[in-house]
């Protein structure tokens, strides 16, 4: 049953992730009074890229070749740490939130290293900006994990969610409000959304993520784009599962699993719409003003940790 559970988790993560990207793009188009792309367009784009030939620079090393596969693999495995649709306590012991953060950092390390590998000016510029953003945001992420883990007594998502389900009134507690704000800002930064980055631009003065992958094509580019969608789905799932666990079933069963998956998917679509609304109403920040947003995220996570030590201990 545990193997089946993780297989279903992985299928949901890699299957639904591009759909959320399509929802955000569709919402942005509607806000501009355009019809926009079909909701399934990200799937068509991935299929088209997988059919194209891969063109690699002659100066690139083996790092450039394996980076898309490592980036995709680490992001997909990180999604297994969050219980999407049930809480099978006895079987959900693959890893905790800290290991998830390290896996994402490993994927980011290889993709930024690959951007430097070809010697491209844009690649070097994008990788340096990506590392700067990650250095600014990762302390807030780690501190948020510790704040949630302190209440639950563990940094495992199963323990955090079990604790929240047992005390649903905690959703109005300051520690959860502060942590939610911090993680939402981290979501925008980690997924290259506005106001941190504009995923739809190719202007060299504003690109961060797009600048790193300009040299990629074909199957390699498809894996990177797919992994970016999965990472976005991952952080949206964290917000849904930790802060919006309205329906959580603790026993295996066809009906309970089906209902829990439906509720989970509806909540992920809701959070995706919120991300889209934020992106519509905010302009991109100048590069050196991103630190202000990171300070806000770190402050919120710090206040969450201090709230625990003052009020909960």
**pLDDT digit string (tens) for 155-177?**
777 777 777 766 665 667 788 88
Question: Does the pLDDT of residue 233 top 80, yes or no?
Answer: yes
CB 126 within 8 A of CB 208: yes
pLDDT beyond 60 at 91: no
Concatenated DSSP letters of 109-136: HHHHHHHHHT--HHHHHHHHHHHHHHHH
For residue 200, pLDDT over 80 is answered with no
* Residue 92 scores a pLDDT above 60: no
Q: What is the pLDDT of residues 242-266, one digit of tens each?
A: 887 665 555 556 677 777 788 888 8
Report which of residues 201 and 8 the model is more confident about: 8
> What distance in Å separates the CA atoms of residue 151 and residue 308, rounded to the nearest whole number?
7
User: Are 237 and 82 within 8 A, CB to CB?
Assistant: yes
d(CA 229, CA 83): 18
- As given in the structure block, the two tokens for residue 178 are 């502060």
| Residue 62 DSSP SS3 | helix
Domain limits for position 228: 2-312
- This prediction has a pTM of 0.89
Q: Which helix (H) or strand (E) holds 222?
A: helix 218-243
What does pLDDT average to over the chain? 83
**Mean pLDDT over residues 56-71, rounded?**
89
Of 287 and 272, which is predicted with more confidence? Answer: 272
Would you place residue 93 in the very low, low, confident or very high pLDDT band (cuts 50, 70, 90)?
A: low
Q: What is the pLDDT of residue 205?
A: 66
| 127, 115 contact by CB (below 8 A) | yes
Structure tokens belonging to residue 272: 């995706």
pLDDT tens digit string along 13-53? 899 999 999 998 898 888 888 888 888 999 999 999 999 98
Question: Using CA atoms in the order 79, 75, 268, 31, what is the torsion angle rounded to 10 degrees?
Answer: 180
> Structural domain tally of the chain?
1
Higher pLDDT, 85 or 154: 154
- Predicted confidence (pLDDT) at residue 226 exceeds the cutoff of 90: yes
Return the higher-pLDDT residue of 212 and 228: 228
């Amino acid at each position: 049953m545990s193997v089946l559970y993780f297989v279903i988790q992985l299928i949901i993560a890699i299957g639904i992730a591009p759909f959320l990207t399509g929802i955000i793009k569709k919402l942005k188009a509607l806000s501009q009074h355009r019809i926009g792309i079909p909701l399934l367009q990200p799937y068509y784009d991935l299929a088209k890229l997988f059919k194209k030939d891969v063109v690699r620079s002659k100066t690139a090393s083996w790092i450039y070749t394996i980076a898309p596969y490592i980036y995709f693999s680490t992001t997909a495995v990180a999604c297994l740490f969050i219980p999407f649709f049930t809480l099978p306590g006895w079987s959900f012991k693959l890893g905790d939130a800290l290991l998830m953060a390290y896996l994402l950092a490993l994927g980011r390390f290889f993709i930024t290293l690959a951007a430097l590998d070809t010697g491209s000016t844009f690649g070097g510029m994008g990788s340096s900006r990506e590392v700067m953003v990650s250095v600014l945001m990762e302390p807030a992420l780690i501190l948020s994990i510790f704040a949630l883990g302190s209440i639950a007594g563990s940094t495992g998502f199963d323990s955090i969610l079990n604790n929240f389900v047992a005390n649903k009134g905690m959703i109005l507690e300051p520690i959860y409000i502060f942590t939610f704000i911090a993680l939402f800002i981290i979501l925008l930064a980690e997924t290259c959304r506005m106001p941190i980055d504009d995923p739809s631009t190719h202007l060299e003065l504003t690109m961060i993520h797009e600048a790193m992958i300009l040299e990629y094509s074909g199957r390699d580019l498809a894996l990177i784009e797919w992994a970016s969608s999965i990472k976005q789905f991952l952080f949206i799932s964290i917000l849904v599962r930790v802060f919006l666990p309205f329906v959580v079933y603790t026993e295996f069963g066809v009906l309970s699993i089906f209902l829990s998956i439906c509720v989970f998917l509806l909540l992920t679509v809701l959070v995706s719409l919120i991300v889209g609304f934020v992106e519509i109403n905010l302009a991109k920040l100048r590069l050196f003003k991103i630190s202000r947003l990171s300070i806000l995220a770190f402050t919120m996570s710090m206040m969450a940790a201090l709230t625990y030590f003052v009020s909960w201990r």
